[in-house]
Amino acid sequence: MAKYNFIDGERVRKAHAVKTIHPVFRSLATSFVPIPDLRYIKIFLERIAASSVLSDDGKMNPVVVIGADGITGVELLIDADTRVVQFFAITSAKQGCGRKMVEAVVRATPLDWFLAVPMDWSSGFWQRMARDYPRLRVL
């Protein structure tokens, strides 16, 4: 796998409140870099968001709106203390990109961490992902 400059200011940013970056946040953010549709990745205190679109409110946050036209993105909630990564939102304007995002998260998350989908409104997507990636739990 190619090495990427971690926080480059263009693709990967961090919120001002983030002082130190936990290794799992680093691993997850880096895993999104090879996905061309995820042009903007931002690390927050307890989450990561990655998207094809930035907000227009001056904050330069990746936009993840489920079902929105033309948006591909993912938002993860991360609890480093309990070692849990939750898929909060995922959307893809391009066929197959959802699978790439899930695969990136599964690959980048340590084996002793719990991967969860707390709510499934996908009409089958998460059931397929749980079948293909047994570490993933749909609650």
Task: Give the model confidence (pLDDT) of 16-42 as tens digits.
Answer: 999 999 999 999 999 999 999 999 999
Q: Is residue 1 part of a domain?
A: no
131: Cβ–Cβ under 8 A, 6 or more apart, which residues? none
Separation between Cα atoms, residue 57 and residue 43, nearest integer Å: 18
Q: Is residue 5 part of a domain?
A: no
Q: Is residue 110 part of a domain?
A: yes
Q: Is residue 27 part of a domain?
A: yes
Domain range enclosing 17: 12-138
What six digits make up the tokens of 111? 């084996």
DSSP E strands, 4-131: 12-14, 40-43, 47-51, 73-79, 84-91, 114-117
Interval 33-89: pLDDT, tens: 999 999 999 999 999 999 999 999 988 899 999 989 999 999 999 999 999 999 999
Contact 114, 85 (CB under 8 A): yes
